[in-house]
Structure formats: structure tokens, C-alpha cells
Structure 1
Amino acid sequence: MSNGQGSRGSGGASGGAGGGPVIAAVDGSDHSLSALEWAREAALRHGTALMVAHVLPDASQLYAGRRSALHDPNEPKEYADPVGDRVRALLESGPELPAEVRYEALEGSVPEALRAVSAEQAPLMLVMGSRGRGGFAALLLGSSSRAVAGTASCPVVVVPHEGRAAEDPEGASAGRVVLGLHAAETPEDVLAFAFAEAAARGTTVQVVSAYALPPGPMTVIDSPFAVIPPEALADGADGVPAERETLRAQNERLAPLRARYPDVPVEQAVVPGDPAGRLVEASRSAALVVVGRHHPRRRSLLIGSVAHALLQHAHGPVAVVPTLHDDGAA
């Protein structure tokens, strides 16, 4: 991996409450430039540095290797990097920037290079587009986005391309943070990420949990989920026992986060069955949907079914958060 070809800052110290930078993965495509803009705003919200990471195309990497092997003094010292030049020009001419902005040109495959830089930098998050320059137009999610979201050591935010984006992106950007919560399995890191993002945005966290409901002749499959006020948790409240138990378990998991973020409003919602479809629908008006990558104790390299469904179908940005600490939440 090669460190970059230049960096730029506008003064001031780097880092903020979150510590590490926000990394934006770019490849010059419109999808990645949308992700860069999302990452710029995130770095400003959290008061941290912005790192722009570009994995060089194969031709540039081969040229660099050839020059290094031949030691030819007649060859230019630096290989062309038009993506880096374009990104620098966009940032220089664009809106407000974080206190520190730097650019890194990386070598290797896209997933491996981004995993390596995220492990080195310990970023607050890594932001990338749902589909890169090389993807087929019909694909909803590019292979690199799927691979990085499934294996990176930091939270990965995937920003959808225009064909999937909400009809009112400005309204969505001002919306709530939606948290998909399995009370018995979701690691504490996932909850903390959602609440920290809501606090930085000055918005609400809507917590969506699912419960099992035996099928019956009167089961309504596609009814909208209900937002449950706290008083509905009292004994004797309406609702099936599984719903009440899910709400109580949800409340227990949320109690420490409510105490840590007393100014963040919380809405609680419960749904029967699989929450993936509800979370996809909620993504139409959400600023961000946050889910865990997979069960913290299964140690599988495969991304969980809910996270996979969201990455494939969400209409807004999705944050896939791995287990960062062994907190025994499950």
C-alpha cells in the first residue's frame, strides 16, 4: 500500500470527540463523489478529520511497480492520478471543509486496501458509494461495497446511488436515525454508534425491533408498525405478550444509552416477523439506518440477513457496524 500524493488542511487540530477520521472511499464515479460529500458533512458534524482514500487502478499500480523495479531515472517520479486531481479540485472549490483534510492513494485490491487503511487509521467510519465505476448498471450493490461492509474493522456507511435514493434527499438528510435492534443480540457498539450520530445531528433515534408472531387467520402482514410511547410498557397494556416482552427487553438495552445521551429523543417501535422490510421502508425518510453486521458470537464472515437486505434495497445511507468490543451483549 502506498501513502498518498499530498494532503491538504485548512488549519486547526485534527480529531474530535470520535478520535479517528472519517474516511471517504472514492474512485471518481458520481456514486463515490456523493459518498465523499456525505463524509465531508459527517466529519464536520463530529469535529474530526476527513481522509479521502483512492485505490489506484491496475495500470497505475503496474507502472509504479515497473519504475521501482527498473530504477529508471528518465521515468517521471510520480504516476498520473486524475481521480486525486479531480477530488482535490472539488474540495478546494467546494463548501466548508473539516479542519484537516488529507488524500491517500492506495495500492492493492479495493477491498483489501480499504480494510488495511481502516485498520491502520481506526476511523470513526468509512463511507463509500453503493456502486463503483466498474459496476454493472443493474447491480444494486457493488462487490467492493459488499466486501468492505462485511469485513472492515470499523463502521461502514454505504450511500446509495441516485436510482435508489429517496425522492426528497434533503428531507431524508434532516430525518431521524433509525436503529435496527435485536435486544438479545445487537452489540453495544451498534447502539452507541446510532446515538452518537443522532446527537451529532440533533435528531431522534427510532428503534425498531421485531418479535415472533405465530401465523393465524387474522394476522395482518403489511400493516404499518406502531411507535410505542413509554406509558404503553405498563402492565396490562394492550398488545400480544411477545410484543410486550420485546418492548421490555428493548427498554433494558436502551436505558444506558438514554442516560448517556439525555438530549437525544427516542422512539420505540415493534414489528412482527423480520424487520428488514420495515427498515428498508423507514430508510425513505431516515437520515441514516444503523444495523449490526452479524451476531457477535457467530464469528461468521458472512454479513447478516438484515444488513444484507438493507445494503441491497435501502433508499438512504446505511451504517453497518461490527462488534468493536467484546461486551457480551448477546
Structure 2
Amino acid sequence: MTNAPVIAAVDGSEHSLKALEWARAAALRHGTGLVIAHVLPDHAQLYAGRRSALHSASEPEEYTDVVSERIRALLNGGGAELPEEVQYESLEGSVPEALRVIGTEALMLVMGSRGRGGFASLLLGSNSRAVATTAPCPVVVVPHAERAAGADEEASAGRVVLGLHAAETPDDVPAFAFTEAAARGTAVQVVSAYAIPPSPTTLVDSPFAVIPPEGLADAGELVPAEREMLRSQTERLAPFRTRYPDVPVEQAAVPGDAAGRLVTASRSAALVVVGRHHPRRNPMHLLMGSVANAVLQHALGPVAVVPALSDDA
């Protein structure tokens, strides 16, 4: 249990309502509060500024946030279980900046992959990308219905998939994955990529093998690069196995394209967890790593983008 709330960013679109449902369930799993945040549209913010400047007593004190009112009505009349504490916040400013500020103390911030604006063909909206790149907390992006249509029907009950660079991914990333898996009562599948192909006959799109920890002792058929990657994984994951003894762990080492394998795994995953930045990039860099960007663009299920949160990361 944690005191940090789950924040759901909503704008009234069906995409954001799907993210709200994911956030509601996450808050219940983690035993924490739910904050529902709506960044007011430009015309509402202009109205508030005009009223403040004119000091007109004839004008209403506040601009009615119709999105917040609609969300309240949906939750109160929907019959779904709610966390003990639910708060509503109407925010001003740009969407990325307002959510960045409110996300400072959040367990995670959940939003849809596409909002009201933009082109319907876009896989990822500009606000979703900007928030995932700059927020000070993990950001979970829930795909819209058209993208999620390719996922398995039981994906929400599946494992948590972790993209791991064994030597360089900050501890915050596997910690988030294991915490989420423990809350769900499911396994963590760890996927790492290595540069050397296992053999000249291996097909790029061939399925990758998932090996349980006990299978590593008998890994004689693996190529050296794959064997070394799995051993590096095992060493890196040891502290998390100790901390989360009830979370099953599956390990996979794949040649070359980590992002493509994670997108494939998203079809049956409850959640895919990736680090925000390239391991060698400064954590404050404003560009997202290529793997995180590709997974956000194409995953069929929810994706958590985790920044380096600890001071020593």
C-alpha cells in the first residue's frame, strides 16, 4: 500500500474514459487514492483570466468544468467500486505542463493514447507523447479501442512484461514492474535484446523462447550471447526476486530488436514496462529512448514509461 495516488488524466473523450477505468482499477489494486485531473480547454482558461482581470461580480465565480461534472456522474451512477478517496482537479496551463506539475507526488499517471484533438489515424497523440517524455512519475498510456482490438481478449489478466537492459536500466523500472505484478498476482516476463544473432538461419520474426530460472542451468543449446544475456538478467533480477518472492519470473533473450519483441508481447500482456530514456542518456534529456518510443507507438495494450526516480539512478 502507498499514500501516493494514481492520477487519471481525462478530457471527456472515450479514449480518456478507458484510461480512467484502468486508473480506477490500479488505485484499488494498490490500495491508494484516485485523482481525476482535467486540464481546462483554452476558452475556459481565457474566461477565468478575463473574470479575474475585470473583477466583475456579475460573472460566475468559476467556469463550470463540464468534463469533471460528467465524470462525477459516470462514477457515481456506474456502480463500479471506487477507492476510498477520489478527488477531482481542474487544471490550467498546457496539458503536458499541468500534468507534469500534478504528477510530482503520484504513484503513476494514466492517460489515453489519443485525446479529442489530432488526426484519427495517429497511433499516439502529441499530448500523450509529451507527458510520457516529461512527467516526474511513471506514465501509463492506455491504447484506444482501434489499437487494442488486436490484443488477446484475456490480456488484462496476463503477465507484466518488462523490457530490461541488464547492465544499465535504472532500478526504478524493474521495481515498478515487480510492484505491479505483485499487486496483480501475476508473473513478470523479462525481455532483453542482444546484438549477435544466434545463427545465420534464424528468422527475424521467429518466436522467442521464454526460459524459467530453473532452466538456465541446462542452457547448453544457447548461443554464447544469449546465454550471457540470460545470466546477466538473472544476476540483475536477484534483488527483486528476494523482495518479491511470490512473483514468478520468466526470462527471454532476443536477438536485435527489443522494441519489436515487446510490441509482440503486448498482445497478451496486462502491461508492458519500459524505461523512459536510452540507458546512456542523461535522465533529464527531453528525448525519449527509441525502444520506449516504438513501444508507445505500436503496443496493443497499456504501456508504462518509467523515468529514473531515485537520486542515485
TM-score grouping bracket, smaller chain normalisation: over 0.9
User: Superposition pairs for residues 18-37 of structure 1, below 5 Å?
Assistant: 18-37=2-21
Q: In 2, are the aligned partners of 1:154 and 1:322 still within 8 Å (CA)?
A: yes
Matched, 1:303 2:268: no
Cα distance in 2 between the residues matched to 1:235 and 1:204:
22
| Aligned partner (choices 73, 86, 100) of residue 89 of structure 1 | 73
1:147 aligns with 2:130: yes
Contact persistence 2:160–2:181 (CA under 8 A): yes
Counterpart CA distance in 1 for 2:251 and 2:114 is 32
The one-letter amino acid paired with 1:314 is: A
Are the counterparts in 1 of residues 278 and 288 from structure 2 also a CA contact under 8 Å?
no
Paired with 1:270 and 1:236, the residues of 2 have a C-alpha distance of: 12
Distance 1:75 1:236 in 2: 74
Match of 2:305 in 1: 320
CA distance in 2, matches of 1:38, 1:51: 13
Alignment match of 2:32 (pick from 36, 48, 54): 48
Select the residue among 245, 254, 266 that pairs with 1:271: 254
Tell me the CA shift for residue 169 of structure 1: 6.1
* SS of match in other structure, 2:210: strand
Aligned partner letter, 1:311: L
| Superposition deviation, residue 190 in structure 1 | 0.4
Measured after TM superposition, the shift of residue 199 of structure 1 is 0.4
* Deviation at residue 270 of structure 1 after TM alignment: 1.1
**In 1, are the aligned partners of 2:11 and 2:115 still within 8 Å (CA)?**
yes
Match in the other structure for 1:12: none
* TM-fit CA distance, 1:166: 4.1
> What are the superposed Cα offsets for residues 212-241 of structure 1, whole Å, 9 maximum, x if unpaired?
115864232111000113243237621111
Q: Of residues 127, 144, 150 in structure 2, which corresponds to 1:161?
A: 144
Q: CA contact under 8 A between 1:294 and 1:303: conserved in structure 2? A: yes
- Counterpart-to-counterpart distance in 1, 2:12 and 2:205: 40
1:175 and 2:167 matched: no
1:185 Cα offset (Å): 1.3
Count of matched residue pairs: 310
What secondary structure is seen at the aligned counterpart in 2 of 1:226? coil
Aligned residue for 1:230? 213
Q: 1:272 to 1:296 in 2, by over 3 A?
A: closer
Cα root mean square deviation, aligned? 1.5
- The Cα offsets for residues 59-117 of structure 1, whole Å up to 9 and x where unpaired, read as 11000000001000011112121101101101111200001000000000111110011
Letter in 2 for 1:46: H
CA contact (8 A) 2:32 2:83 kept: yes
**CA distance in structure 2 between the aligned counterparts of 1:42 and 1:272, rounded to whole angstroms:** 33
The percentage of counterpart residues that share the same residue type is 76
Secondary structure of the residue aligned to 1:128 is strand
Shift in alpha-carbon separation, 1:168–1:298, aligned structure 2, 3 A: closer
Answer yes or no: is the 8 Å Cα contact 2:19–2:110 preserved in 1: yes
> Residues 258-278 of structure 1: CA distance to partner in whole angstroms, max 9, x if unpaired?
000000111111111111111
Unmatched tracts of structure 2, length 5 or more: none
Contact 2:189 2:250 in 1 (8 A): yes
Distance 1:236 1:279, change over 3 A: closer
Contact 1:130 1:145 (8 Å CA) reproduced: yes
Q: Is residue 27–residue 132 contact of structure 1 (8 Å, CA) maintained in 2?
A: yes
**Aligned equivalents of 2:219 and 2:63: distance in 1?**
71
Q: Distance in 2 between matches of 1:302 and 1:311?
A: 14
Equivalent position amino acid for 2:97 in 1: E
Quick check: 2:192–2:254 contact (8 Å CA) kept in 1?
A: yes
State the SS of the aligned residue for 2:130: helix
| Contact 1:166–1:172 under 8 Å retained in 2 | no
Quick one: distance in 1 between partners of 2:198 and 2:159? Answer: 32
TM-score after normalising by structure 1? 0.91
Matched residue SS, 1:135: coil
Q: Give the one of 113, 117, 128 matched to 2:98.
A: 113
Distance in 1 between residues matched to 2:198 and 2:264, nearest whole Å: 23
TM-score by length of 2: 0.96
Conserved in 2, the CA contact under 8 Å of 1:166 and 1:284?
Answer: no
Change (3 A) 1:85 1:247: same
Match of 2:191 in 1: 208
Q: Which runs of 5+ in 1 are unaligned?
A: 1-16
What secondary structure, in the 3-state scheme, does the structure 2 residue paired with 1:257 have? helix
| Counterpart selection for 1:244 from 220, 223, 227 | 227
Measured in 1, the distance between the counterparts of 2:205 and 2:127 equals 33
